[in-house]
Amino acid sequence: MIDTGFRGKSYGWERIKIRDPETGVIYLQLTNAPVNSQVLYFEHQNFTSDNQSVLFLSQRFASRNSGWDLFRVSVDGTNLVQLTDEEYSLGSPIPSPNKARSIYGVRKNSLLLLDIDTFEEQEIARCQEVSGLGPSTMTGDGKYYLACASSKADSTRMIVRFRTDGSEIATFAHGYPHNHLTVNYHGTILAFNGRDGEYTCGINGENLHKISDAQQFAHCMWHGQTNLRQGTLLPPGHAIATAEVDDIEKTIICNGPYFWHSASSRDGQWIISDTNWPDQGLILIHVTSGRYTTLVNPKSKIGHQDITHPHPSFSWDNNMVVFCSNQTGLSQVYVCEIPDEIRNELETGNLNYRLRWQK
pLDDT in tens, 333-348: 999 999 999 999 999 9
Q: What is the pLDDT of residue 2?
A: 43
CA atoms within 13 A on the CB side of 16: 11
| φ, ψ of residue 28 in degrees (nearest 5) | -115, 135
Asked if residue 26 has pLDDT above 90, the reply is: yes
| CA–CA dist 123, 296 (Å, integer) | 40
3-state helix vs strand vs coil in the chain, percent to 5: 5, 45, 55
| Mean pLDDT of the residues in the chain | 94
Where b means 16+ CB within 10 Å and e means fewer, 263-275 reads bbbbebebbbbbb
Q: What is the pLDDT of residue 350?
A: 87
For the entire predicted model, the pTM comes to 0.95
Asked if residue 88 has pLDDT above 90, the reply is: no
CB-based burial of residue 96 (10 Å sphere; 0-12 exposed, 13-18 middle, 19+ buried)? buried
Q: Are 171 and 152 in contact (CB under 8 A)?
A: no
Element (H, E) at 145: strand 144-151
**How would residue 356 be classed by pLDDT, with cut points 50, 70 and 90?**
low
Asked if residue 359 has pLDDT above 90, the reply is: no
- Our CA angle for 286, 290, 296, nearest 5°, is 55
**How would residue 1 be classed by pLDDT, with cut points 50, 70 and 90?**
very low
CB atoms inside a 10 Å sphere around CB 296: 25
Q: Are 92 and 133 in contact (CB under 8 A)?
A: yes
**How would residue 352 be classed by pLDDT, with cut points 50, 70 and 90?**
low
Asked if residue 3 has pLDDT above 50, the reply is: no
| CA–CA dist 47, 38 (Å, integer) | 13
Indicate the domain borders of the chain.
90-211
Q: Are 158 and 172 in contact (CB under 8 A)?
A: yes
| CA–CA dist 174, 171 (Å, integer) | 8
What integer is the mean pLDDT of 182-195? 96
Q: What is the pLDDT of residue 94?
A: 98
**Amino acid identity at 89:** S
- CATH code matching the domain that covers 90-211, chosen among 3.40.1160.10, 3.40.1190.20, 3.50.30.30, 2.120.10.30: 2.120.10.30
**Measured between alpha carbons, how far is residue 262 from residues 66, 136, 313 in Å?**
29, 19, 8
- Our CA angle for 3, 96, 178, nearest 5°, is 100
| CA–CA dist 177, 274 (Å, integer) | 27
Q: For 245-294, how does the pLDDT look when each residue is reduced to its tens digit (9 = 90+)?
A: 999 999 999 999 999 999 999 999 999 999 999 999 999 999 999 999 99
